[in-house]
Amino acid sequence: MERDLKSVRNIGISAHIDSGKTTLTERILFYTDRIHKINEVRGKDGTGAIMDSMELEKERGITIASAATYCRWRNHDINIIDTPGHVDFTVEVERSLRVLDGVILILCSVSGVQSQSITVDQQMKRYEVPCMAFINKCDRSGANPFKVIEQLKEKLGHNAVPMQIPIGLEQDHEGVIDLVKMKAYYFEGDNGEKVVVKDIPENLAEEALKVREDMLDKVSEFSDELTDAILEEQEISEELLMHAIRQGTLERKLTPVFLGSAYKNKAVQPAMDAVIDYLPSPVDIDNEAININNNEETVILKSEFDFPTVALAFKLDDGQYGQLTYVRVYQGCITKGNIIINTRTGKKIRPGRLIRMHSSEMEEVEEIPAGHIGAMFGVDCVSGDTFTAPDINYTMLAMHVMEPVISLSLKPVDNKSEIAMSKALNRFTKEDPTFKTHVDQETGETIIQGMGELHLDVYVERMRREYNANVEIGKPRVAYRETITRKADFNYTHKKQTGGAGQYGRIAGFIEPCDEDFEFNNKITGGKIPTQYIPSCEKGFQNCMEKGPKLEFPVTGIKITIQDGAYHSVDSSEMAFVAAARGAFLEAYNKAKPVIKEPIMKVVIETPNEFQGACMGLINQRRGIIEGSQEEGVMSVIEATVPLSDMFGFSTVLRSGTQGKAQFTMEFSSYKKVPQSIAEEIFKKKQEEKTNSKK
């Protein structure tokens, strides 16, 4: 692997569904001689794209799991991660952005900035990842890259600056004009592999100069030398201009915009040049770790090979040879046979096989040096674990993981399926932090939880295909929550006398609503409750949060303050105060006017204009609130918030109501109070479930 880190790029390709992420990655691999035939995402022969290695991905024509590969371009090593666009698999984007240095944000030249583009942009902001934009599909009818650049500025707040202008659009799209080099680029040959450089066509020369003037004005903010050269009307060198663009991109204050058509093999090579010219190398990015041995102080990691090793496991895969752990090495080197420590478990690991991934294919290597992405075989860990050299104890900050909002019950048909299901669930929960599973204590059913219907659907399908687990699926369930709406006092005494020492504890105080999930405030003075029993009080209250007294949903948004109490020198114990806290909670909870909260989803529908009214009707039928609607050419975009419980089966209804022409995305927005009529229905259902489970 490349040891000069200035010649390494770790990049991700992110975008909304169907913007052409996987198509662009296929072209990059073809032009860098990593593959010798271009496969399409929905290949006619059923082959599918190289980066979509899972059977399900090829069938559905979507990316489900992020795939890693690498290639070489202009003597640079480029590690690429192709991420899913569907919001249900948002953790795949999250985990990839956590370990990447730069991102190509792909936008469709017709649809522009879509709902998932906004989500990806928020994720890039969270990890402060520099990015460049590639406006794809310039050959499509209705293509308008300049409109998309305006949307980048307005909707995402990017300082988007075009580096190219198109030579023709829609069916006349032939190539691009490079505004840095001021040359026209055409792409010839069967797969656009021949790059032909010509002078700018006369009919576009004036427009090119005008857009370049604007570009120079914006880029000059990042270089005093460039500003001086412009003011003194000197000739501006390519190096000076490129240095200023790179500086602005690294600071995340500039987004250079490129355009083309990946499907028609137009302008992919200049975008690859831009990755090398403008996106950061590992040495350009400061990565932080926490030193556990030294009061959890923050340490800046050095992208050096002879420093102690620090690496992060960001993705797990269960291959035919056992667990495959994808790692990004930030400092030092993981070498075959050398000891590293998993800082979460403290276990020593001696990696036997190290590999570099090319989608589902592998290439054995002796080491994975700092700044690179690779994988280890046979290492037992979970996603987000940090590996270090034995002489240091650092941990990397884990990625942001959203809580699941939907659940299904699973029931294996026979004993063989039960064993297979348990193996599958064990693997999936290790691989995906947003996929959770537990056994319902009352019904004995296995419950799986995830980010959406498609998310759970894919895992159930994988269970059947990869593990031959024959399972029956229950109805989807919504992750309801309980909370309180007003302040209520408690003053509870727990007293139990059995032969010998009894149990005694008194707690007084109040509960009130708050913005946090759970807050505990100790205002006890004068030793009315001894200090050693305070954690037991907190534990008792926290245990009550798992299952609310109203309908047994988890309780959130409660602040508990204890102000008074009493203890007995013989009969008081930790157990007595845990029980007293439980009694105090139950006493106050019903007085605090409890309500049920439900997950509300942000739904974005893209539909042809003639079905706009029908789509709005479908949203209104589902207790939805339409927040905005705008027409963009022949398409309309409707934004709404809808309760998750009313969104089940929506994709089928939407397809039949729009002749299959509309599509929608849905992501979690917030929790809101359930209307009284719906709350009564939920209460009835709960009572029925309880009755049935007792039979």
**One domain for residues 465 and 443:** yes
- Name which residue leads in pLDDT, 208 or 93: 208
Same domain, 644 and 673: yes
Single residue among 249, 284, 319 that ends a domain in this structure: 284
Q: Which domain holds residue 472?
A: 406-479
Where does the pLDDT of residue 81 fall: very low under 50, low under 70, confident under 90, or very high at 90 and above? confident
Is residue 510 included in any domain, yes or no? yes
Look at residue 175 and give its three-state secondary structure. Answer: strand
Tokens of 280: 């950061």
Domains in the chain, number:
5
The CATH number of the domain holding residue 613 is 3.30.70.240
pLDDT tens for each residue of 556-587: 889 999 998 888 888 888 888 999 999 999 98
Cα 427 from Cα 318, distance rounded (Å): 7
Say how far apart CA 402 and CA 60 lie, in whole Å: 25
State pLDDT tens for residues 376-400: 888 888 878 899 999 888 888 766 6
Mean pLDDT score across all residues of the chain: 84
Q: How many helices (H) and strands (E) does the chain have?
A: 16, 38
Q: Does the structure show a pLDDT above 60 at 53? A: no
Least confident residue range of 142-146, 240-244, 358-362, 365-369: 358-362
Structure tokens given for 678: 């719906």
Does residue 86 have a pLDDT over 60?
no
Q: How far apart are CA 19 and CA 28, in angstroms?
A: 16
Per DSSP, helices labelled H in 607-666 are: 612-621, 650-657
Report the SS3 class of residue 434: coil
Most confident of 30-34, 41-45, 113-117, 554-558: 554-558
Out of 269, 284, 299, pick the residue that ends a domain.
284
Q: Are residues 143 and 266 in the same domain?
A: yes
Most confident of 261-275, 421-435, 666-680: 261-275
pLDDT at 51 over 50: no
**Predicted TM-score of the model (pTM):** 0.70
533: Cβ–Cβ under 8 A, 6 or more apart, which residues? Answer: 505, 567, 572, 574, 577
Q: pLDDT tens, 608-629?
A: 888 899 999 999 998 999 999 9
Contacts of 274 by beta carbon, 8 Å cutoff, 6+ apart = 132, 163, 256, 258
Whether residue 639 is predicted with pLDDT greater than 80 in this model: the reply is yes
Phi, psi dihedral angles at 352 (to 5 degrees): -95, -35
Tell me the CATH number at 234: 3.40.50.300
By mean pLDDT, which of 234-243, 543-552, 637-646 is the weakest?
Answer: 543-552
- Residue 640, pLDDT above cutoff 90: yes
Question: What is the spatial distance between Cα 561 and Cα 55, in angstroms, rounded to a whole number?
Answer: 54
Residues 414 and 467 in one domain: yes
Phi, psi of 689 (to 5 degrees): -60, -45
Strands 406-412 and 477-478: antiparallel
Amino acid at 307: F
| pLDDT value for 398 | 65
Looking at the structure, tell me whether residues 133 and 279 fall in a common domain: yes
Whether 360 shows a pLDDT value over 60: the answer reads no
* Cβ atoms within 10 Å, residue 303: 24
Beta bridge partners of 160: 255
**Predicted confidence (pLDDT) per residue in 549-564, tens digit:** 878 888 988 999 999 8
At 558 the pLDDT is 92
Residue 608 lies in a domain: yes
- How many Å apart are CA 456 and CA 651, to the nearest integer? 15
CATH number at residue 583: 3.30.230.10
Q: Which residue has 């008194």 as its token pair? A: 506
Shared domain check, 461 and 567: no
Shared domain for 390 and 493, answered yes or no, is: no
* Whole-number pLDDT of residue 211: 92
Q: Is residue 691 part of a domain?
A: no
CATH number for 369: 2.40.30.10
Distance (Å) of CA 574 to CA 540, 541, 546, 609: 10, 13, 20, 65
Specify whether 623 is located in the same domain as 586: no
Within 8 A by CB and 6+ apart from 655, the residues are: 662
Per-residue pLDDT at 83: 66
Residue 48 pLDDT: 42
* Spatial separation of the C-alpha atoms in residues 556 and 519, rounded to whole Å: 10
586 and 640, same structural domain?
A: no
Structural domain ending residue among the three candidates 352, 377, 396: 396
